[in-house]
Amino acid sequence: MTARPTAYITTPIYYVNDRPHIGHAYTTTLCDVWARAMRFAGRDVFFLTGTDEHGVKVEKSARERGIDPQALADENAAEFERVLEVFGLTNDDFIRTTQSRHVRQVQAFVKRLLEMDAVYLGEFEGWYDEGQEEYVTENRARETDYTSPISGRPLVKATEKNYYFRLSAFQERLEAFFEANPGFVRPEARRNEVLGRLRDGLQDVPITRTNFSWGIPFPDDEQHVIYVWIDALLNYATALGMAEDDGDAGGRHRYWPADLHVIGKEILWFHAVIWPAVLMALDLPLPTCVYAHSFWISEGQKMSKSLGNFIDLPTIERYMDTYGLDAWRWYMVVQGPLGATDADFQAAGFHETYTTDLVNTVGNCASRTTAMIGKYFDGVVPADAGTVFEGWDLPGAAATAFERWTAAMATFALDDACEAAIGLLRTVDAFINATEPFKVAKDESRRDELASILARCAEAVRIASMLLSPILPAKMAELRAALSIDLDVANGGLAEQAAWSDRLAGSTVTKVALFPRIEAPQDA
Ligand code: ME8
């Protein structure tokens, strides 16, 4: 038996100095949809998420609360794990950067970078604001007349020894890589931003710090702590055991490199430039795609701590209680900030999307079809009698929907994949309205016509339910149960299962009401 093609997808690992909110749930949900779709298409999937637990931000938050950084990390990592459970997300692993498996491999990787001369000990000289514990650039120092803009005290000239990563040495290779791989950064607009900045030229970057201690010690020089971003990026490799010296005992090397790193736009530079350069230095194959989505804002405003308008976990849970988990996933995917523009989370918009797409289209189409089969054929799907309906080609529409869905999934255009599936159901609705089976049913001599209409509707609904199942897993399982069918695509049979057929003829269906109408818009 030949091995199934693999698919490795990752979320960013989230900082534990904050509690989870819609942004984190969003990225992880997108990855979950794709992971389910790829499993469903027969791929051997590895879906990774986790938490980023080192660094000065975590140290500071812990200090403010008077607790140990590890205690803070444990507490908030548990919250992030709870998100996965509440949302029914299907990640295959959850990596925490304080785990020993990660720490020892980061040290091994950094050692390798030193040996390859991609990392060197250098000296940095700059203007230091002692009150703020930070360096300011020459330009900014000049603007404030070499005094601190905060305390007014003079800036001091300070030098610091740090280990540097030779990013500048990878300029040409990176440019050539971008050239040869136009799909490496998606969406396109983001790729252009990165390319522009890349062509401005690269400077070496410090990858250690000496002014705090909550991090992974630099190998053989423990005064230095590895910079949190290098530590964090390497999670994608350590989770697969890429620097363990156990010869792939975990059996995960086959997933390398990632097919997709899904991230928010604010951390694109690290993923699109620094990360591939580090991998080039380590001589490891590079990921296929970094997908940087945009941001959720809330009711027209940026979400921020000071405004206190984060859509947090309790708020999300209220939505789920009212509308259901699948409805939440649907809204995230079809109205969220995939692509290059931000998306506004609005209670009214949520309600409208729920009603238009799920109640009036998916739910209505499934219930009409199953109800009519119940009423006119005693709940048994009739065989298609082959009646020709001029201008209607449901098998053709289903094939087009499947092709569009497949192409959309390949480029992470998840909203377009949803549109392909729901578009098929809109066609079914229009077909019902045009052929009027409820009228045809009144005339005994038109039984063949009635059977043809309902057999085709049922088959199109079946195919749409396949395509919708990664996005609406629970509701589509309900629909399949109502159609008495299984979802057996474990062996790469999705194309076959989504192909038009007469497999439903003779099977029993029951009427389904998938999405209840909810009257009042929820003001959560
Ligand atoms: O940056 N809208 O972690 P983080 C959409 N630890 N997505 C959002 C969002 C919003 N308003 N806010 C956050 C870090 N996100 C690092 C990553 S990876 C090697 C290290 C999502 O906790 C989005 O995916 O700040 C963003 O990139 C991520 O949360 C940042 O999470």
- Per-residue pLDDT tens over the stretch 149-160: 888 899 999 888
Find residue 161's DSSP bridge partners: 123
| Contact criterion met (CB below 8 Å) for 414 and 476 | no
Do the domain assignments include residue 316? Answer: no
Sign of CA dihedral 265, 266, 271, 274: positive
Do the domain assignments include residue 409? Answer: yes
Counts for the chain of helices (H) and strands (E), in that order:
21, 14
Do the domain assignments include residue 514? Answer: no
Query: If you measure from the C-alpha of residue 264 to the centroid of ligand 1, how many angstroms do you get, rounded to a whole number?
Result: 6
Higher pLDDT, 495 or 262: 262
Do the domain assignments include residue 393? Answer: yes
Q: Is 55 in the pocket of ligand 1 (CB under 6 A)?
A: no
- Mean pLDDT on 233-239: 98
Q: Is 52 in the pocket of ligand 1 (CB under 6 A)?
A: yes
pLDDT of residue 491: 54
DSSP per-residue string spanning 266-285: GGHHIIIIIHHHHHHHHT-P
pLDDT of residue 126: 84
Helix (H) or strand (E) holding 85: helix 69-86
Give the pair of three-digit tokens for residue 496: 């076959």
Mean of all residue pLDDT scores within the chain: 94
Which residue, judged by its Cα, is nearest atom 8 of ligand 1? Answer: 23
Query: If you measure from the C-alpha of residue 413 to the centroid of ligand 1, how many angstroms do you get, rounded to a whole number?
Result: 20
Instruction: Ligand 1 pocket test: pick from 11, 32, 52, 54 the residue with the most ligand atoms within 8 Å of its Cβ.
Output: 52
Ligand 1 closest atom vs CA 11: 24
| Contact criterion met (CB below 8 Å) for 301 and 307 | yes
Cα 390 to Cα 367: distance, rounded to the nearest angstrom: 25
Which segment of 129-138, 177-186, 227-236, 456-465 scores lowest on mean pLDDT?
Answer: 129-138
Total domains, the chain: 1
Ligand 1 closest atom vs CA 14: 22
**CA distance to 188, 319, 375, per residue, from 349 (Å):** 27, 13, 36
Q: Is 233 in the pocket of ligand 1 (CB under 6 A)?
A: yes
Above pLDDT 90, what percent of the chain?
Answer: 85
Q: Is 303 in the pocket of ligand 1 (CB under 6 A)?
A: yes
Do the domain assignments include residue 371? Answer: yes
Query: If you measure from the C-alpha of residue 285 to the centroid of ligand 1, how many angstroms do you get, rounded to a whole number?
Result: 25
pLDDT in tens, 358-379: 999 999 999 999 999 999 999 9
pLDDT in tens, 387-408: 999 999 999 999 999 999 999 9
pLDDT in tens, 415-473: 999 999 999 999 999 999 999 999 999 999 999 999 999 999 999 999 999 999 999 99
| Contact criterion met (CB below 8 Å) for 113 and 282 | yes
Comparing C-alpha atoms, which of 114, 123, 118, 124 is closest to residue 220?
Answer: 114
pLDDT in tens, 295-317: 999 988 898 878 888 899 999 99
Residue 171 has pLDDT above 70, yes or no: yes
Q: Is 53 in the pocket of ligand 1 (CB under 6 A)?
A: no
Q: Is 329 in the pocket of ligand 1 (CB under 6 A)?
A: no
Cα 84 to Cα 283: distance, rounded to the nearest angstrom: 33
Find residue 15's DSSP bridge partners: 52
Do the domain assignments include residue 117? Answer: no
pLDDT of residue 15: 94
Domain that holds residue 385: 346-497
Q: Is 295 in the pocket of ligand 1 (CB under 6 A)?
A: yes
Q: Is 273 in the pocket of ligand 1 (CB under 6 A)?
A: no
Residue 111 has pLDDT above 70, yes or no: yes
**CA distance to 110, 371, 393, 427, 434, per residue, from 374 (Å):** 66, 5, 24, 21, 20
Beta strand segments in 283-398, E: 290-293, 296-298, 343-345
Q: Is 267 in the pocket of ligand 1 (CB under 6 A)?
A: yes
| Contact criterion met (CB below 8 Å) for 451 and 384 | yes
pLDDT of residue 18: 85
Do the domain assignments include residue 442? Answer: yes
pLDDT in tens, 330-359: 999 999 999 999 999 999 999 999 999 999
Q: Print the SS3 string covering 393-453.
A: CHHHHHHHHHHHHHHHHHCCCHHHHHHHHHHHHHHHHHHHHHHCHHHHCCCHHHHHHHHHH
Query: If you measure from the C-alpha of residue 27 to the centroid of ligand 1, how many angstroms do you get, rounded to a whole number?
Result: 8
Task: Using the structure block, give the residue that is written with the tokens 């992030």.
Answer: 80
Residue 243 has pLDDT above 60, yes or no: yes
- Mean pLDDT on 259-275: 97
Task: Please state at what angle helix 22-40 crosses helix 69-86, rounded to 10 degrees.
Answer: 50
| Contact criterion met (CB below 8 Å) for 353 and 334 | yes
Comparing C-alpha atoms, which of 43, 44, 51, 46 is closest to residue 70?
Answer: 51
Which residue, judged by its Cα, is nearest atom 18 of ligand 1? Answer: 12
Q: Is 127 in the pocket of ligand 1 (CB under 6 A)?
A: no
**CATH code, domain with 463:** 1.10.730.10
First to last CA, the chain: 52
Dmax (CA) for the chain in angstroms is: 96
Do the domain assignments include residue 518? Answer: no
**CA distance to 226, 245, 328, 419, 489, per residue, from 503 (Å):** 59, 51, 32, 25, 15
Query: If you measure from the C-alpha of residue 11 to the centroid of ligand 1, how many angstroms do you get, rounded to a whole number?
Result: 9
- Mean pLDDT on 116-127: 92
Residue 1 has pLDDT above 60, yes or no: no
pLDDT of residue 36: 96
Residue 511: other Cβ atoms inside 10 A? 16
Give the pair of three-digit tokens for residue 510: 């029951």
Query: If you measure from the C-alpha of residue 25 to the centroid of ligand 1, how many angstroms do you get, rounded to a whole number?
Result: 10
Residue 45 has pLDDT above 80, yes or no: yes
